[in-house]
Amino acid sequence: MRRLALLLFCFATSTCVEAAGFKGDKADQVKLERWQCAFCPFQQTPNSVTFNLRHLPKQAQQLRNQLGQQSQTDVGLSAQWRKTSEQSGQWQAQTTQLGFDSFSASASWRSNGQQKIAMSYRQLSQNLSTMQTSPYGGWSSGQVSLPDNWQPQDQQQNFDRSDWQQPRLDGLVWRQLMLDASYPISERLLLSLQWQQQQREGYRPIAVNQLVQSTQLMSPVDEKWQKLALDLDLDFTQWDAGISYQRHRFDNKLTTFGYDYAFVGFANLTRGESALAPDSEGNVVSGYFSVPLERGNFYLTAGVSEHSQQQTLLPYSTNSELDSSLPQPTWHADTQVRWSKLRAQHWLNSKTRLQFNYQWQSQQLEAPQVIWQPVINDVYRAEEQPNPYYDRQFGRLELLMRWRSDSGNQLTTGYRSHHKYWDWTEQSNKAYQQDYFTSFHGKVGKSSRYDFSLTHSDQQSSSSIPDRFSGLVTHFYPMLSKQSDRLSVRLHSPLTSRIALSWHGFGQHTDFDNLYFGLESQRSVGLGSEIGWQLADNMQAEGSANWSQHRSVNALTAPGNFYQTDSTTRYWRFAWQHQDLFDKRFDWGLSFERNLSRQELDIAMATVSDSWSPYQGSWYSLALNSGYRLSRKQQLQVTLRHDKAYHYSWQQDLNYSNQINDLIALDSSNQAYRITLLQLSWRYQW
């Protein structure tokens, strides 16, 4: 009680401590009025405007991850603008890529680093491949359809793809608008307000099925998410705390997605329908508290969130012969998640400290449990079953000790336990995992260092899940008991003052307590190396090579009858960069980067074995950029960049129409892209 009173006293009497950095004993003797800083070249952040004219082929859409520029036209104009002012506080406004598909803009105003109002907007396009074609149309309606002359295909027939069309290429567009404001109510109390809206509009690849036949489609997307957050932070010398409230809402204009069946189906059955995410809303209240202790510190955060949705249900089936009345036309559900995290740290001495972490989370689903009679694949009526009704709890406790020597070596060792618990009303399922881990971070000489870590995990699970949940997913989702060991080593050493080399490797083995069918064991090993070489002051090179192998062993039909899958992945990367100043006005740079990856898959069974076509990915980029300063305020820049990418995978969207029955895939038979970007930029600065 006395301690609590002291804390309250501190809260009431604490005064502001002026920011100071390092303060020597004689700091108070300094006569700052004499420190004129007459030679300090104070600068104001320059204002600038840049115009970019560029030529970029449409194929660049498929290289968006590497290029960062997307386009639906070959020639484009974009602008960047940046303006800063110190009048009436500080404000700054900036736009980037104005005119390209991806666009961002931001503006902020600050007063002495305290009050702040900021706005930002950004847009991101996920364009589709130009190679994809489909027999479907009506993409924007949410009810995609086949052409009138479409003949439902028997699985023994080949597809006639002559009249397939290209879906829209603009894919999915993300738009994010954010408003952020903070206001110091007092020297110790900061109030922050944030509002954020995200909107997604466009199309997303989706597969739909008709028995075992499957078709890839474009599902329309038109959804919006909004969040309002209010934070209050208290900052005191002895402790600090904060409380936060968030309200968020998800609106989906499309809650169903209908499609024509492409294959010969059940009598009079020509259409299917899927349910998309319904509208929902939620509230989150959380807080934190942090305080220094006698020889350590303490941090606690806790919160509760609730999420609810109300949806109108679809009919059981589009097949009128199998459809029956629903138990209820709508379904309302709430979930409540509560969590707390607690962390405490205590120094035993100046080199050794103990740390205690505890995390707890609980999720409760509050929804009416109803007996449903679902229909499987519009042909078979399933057995009656209730929708899952479960509560879930998760806890993790961690105790660790860290020791650090004067020379910088650091030893960490600890224990961690996880608890998972599901309450299925009639039965419960538990999983309990214990980890023992130790790691050592050592130094050799002045700059070489090495890391070593070893972890042993043991997970025990009660495998009973109520039989009444005959749905495929819930019935076959046990938490397998398993034991796992992992070892990893990393060595980093500068060979010379210009060359740094690092090596790393890991090995992991997991045994599953699987008494009959399914996964028996997994084993992963990997090796890798990176090198960084500063060839000259203006030239550098990087390289890396990684190899890893994953093996899983499954029991196939009976104990002792296994099939074994080996997956081997190799990855190489090389990058080289040179930048030079030709004279005071003219600079130029050249860079090259190449990535290569390859994954092989081998499957072995009791009597046969097979190797599947390897997954291969390759990307290289060669870029030349050059700048010329026209005057103190104007600069020209030319960028020429050539990129080539090649991806092949049996999992990716290949043309299967003549190779595989039962599947209509969006056609993307050529995954090799080669594009050249040419951009001319003019920048004016004042």
Partner 1 sequence: MMMVSYLVTSIAVLCLLLMSNGSNAEQADKLEQLNSALWQLKKQADYSRKGADTCLRCHDNSGSFPVLDIFAGKHGDPNHPQSPFVHLQCETCHGPIGDHDARRLAEGESREDMFTFGNSGNLTADEQNQICLDCHQQQQAHWEFNPHAQSNQTCTSCHSIHQANDRMLQAESQAQTCGSCHQQQLAQTKLASTHPIASKLMSCNDCHSQHQKPLQTPTLNQTCYQCHADKQGPRLWPHQPVDEDCSTCHEPHGSQHKPMLTQQSPFLCQQCHGGVSHAGVVADKDAFLSNDNAATLLFNRGCVNCHTQVHGSNHPSGSGLQR
Write down the residue that tokens 């892209």 correspond to. Answer: 673
In the region spanning residues 509 to 538, those forming contacts with partner 1, defined by CB under 8 A, are 514, 516-519, 530
State yes or no: residue 208 binds partner 1 (CB under 8 A): yes
CB of 51 to partner 1, least distance (A): 19
When the beta carbons of 305 and 508 are compared against partner 1, the nearer one is: 305
Tokens of 97: 């890529």
Distances (CA, A) of 43 to 40, 46, 84, 85, 107: 9, 8, 12, 12, 21
When the beta carbons of 148 and 485 are compared against partner 1, the nearer one is: 485
State yes or no: residue 556 binds partner 1 (CB under 8 A): yes
In the region spanning residues 600 to 639, those forming contacts with partner 1, defined by CB under 8 A, are 603, 605, 607-610, 615, 617, 619
CB of 88 to partner 1, least distance (A): 12
Q: Residue 468 is which amino acid?
A: R
When the beta carbons of 166 and 439 are compared against partner 1, the nearer one is: 439
CB of 284 to partner 1, least distance (A): 8
Name the residue among 313, 305, 318, 308 with its Cα closest to residue 329.
313
In the region spanning residues 79 to 118, those forming contacts with partner 1, defined by CB under 8 A, are 86, 102, 104, 112-113
CB of 105 to partner 1, least distance (A): 14
The torsion region of residue 673 among left (phi > 0), alpha (psi -120 to 50) and beta comes to beta
Proportion of the chain in helix, strand, coil states, percent, rounded to 5? 5, 60, 35
State yes or no: residue 445 binds partner 1 (CB under 8 A): no
What is the dihedral angle through the alpha carbons of 532, 550, 645, 589, rounded to the nearest 10 degrees? Answer: -10
Per-residue H/E/C for 627-668: EEECCCCEEEEEEEEEEEEEEECCCCCCCCCCCCCCEECCCC
Which residues, other chains included, contact 246 with Cβ-Cβ below 8 Å and sequence gap of 6+?
A: 227, 228, 229, 230, 283, 284, 285, 286
Among 92, 649, 676, 685, binds partner 1 (CB under 8 A): 649
State yes or no: residue 656 binds partner 1 (CB under 8 A): yes
State yes or no: residue 428 binds partner 1 (CB under 8 A): no
Site string for partner 1, 178-197 (x = CB under 8 A): --------------------
What 3-state DSSP class applies to 571?
strand
Backbone angles phi, psi at 53, to 5 degrees: -115, 125
Q: List the alpha helices (DSSP H) in 14-81.
A: 64-67
Among 404, 551, 570, 642, binds partner 1 (CB under 8 A): 404
State yes or no: residue 574 binds partner 1 (CB under 8 A): no
What 3-state DSSP class applies to 552?
strand
In the region spanning residues 126 to 165, those forming contacts with partner 1, defined by CB under 8 A, are none
In the region spanning residues 16 to 35, those forming contacts with partner 1, defined by CB under 8 A, are 18-27, 29-30, 32, 34-35
Write down the residue that tokens 């954010």 correspond to. Answer: 178
Among 434, 460, 534, 544, binds partner 1 (CB under 8 A): 544
Q: What is the Cα–Cα distance from 482 to 463, expressed in whole angstroms?
A: 12
DSSP conformation class of 145: B
Among 12, 15, 41, 445, binds partner 1 (CB under 8 A): 41
Among 75, 77, 189, 212, binds partner 1 (CB under 8 A): 212
Q: What is the Cα–Cα distance from 652 to 19, expressed in whole angstroms?
A: 56
State yes or no: residue 651 binds partner 1 (CB under 8 A): yes
What 3-state DSSP class applies to 236?
coil
Among 92, 143, 290, 549, binds partner 1 (CB under 8 A): 290
Among 118, 326, 379, 487, binds partner 1 (CB under 8 A): 326
State yes or no: residue 408 binds partner 1 (CB under 8 A): yes
Q: What is the Cα–Cα distance from 2 to 5, expressed in whole angstroms?
A: 5
Q: Total residues at the site for partner 1 (CB under 8 A)?
A: 197
Per-residue H/E/C for 169-184: CCCEEEEEEEEEEEEE
Q: Which stretch binds partner 1 (CB under 8 A): 48-56, 132-140, 467-475, 576-584?
A: 467-475
When the beta carbons of 148 and 538 are compared against partner 1, the nearer one is: 538
In the region spanning residues 239 to 258, those forming contacts with partner 1, defined by CB under 8 A, are 240, 248, 250, 252, 255
CB of 153 to partner 1, least distance (A): 14
Among 95, 127, 132, 345, binds partner 1 (CB under 8 A): 345
For 315, half-sphere exposure in the C-beta direction (CA atoms, 13 angstrom radius) is: 14
State yes or no: residue 54 binds partner 1 (CB under 8 A): no
When the beta carbons of 103 and 148 are compared against partner 1, the nearer one is: 103
- Residues 634 and 591: beta-carbon distance below 8 Å: no
CB of 149 to partner 1, least distance (A): 25
State the burial class of residue 353 (Cβ atoms within 10 Å of its Cβ: 0-12, 13-18, 19+). Answer: middle
Stated as kind and residue range, the H or E segment containing 290 is strand 280-293
In the region spanning residues 355 to 394, those forming contacts with partner 1, defined by CB under 8 A, are 355-356, 358, 360-363, 365, 367, 372, 374-377, 382, 385, 387-388, 392-394
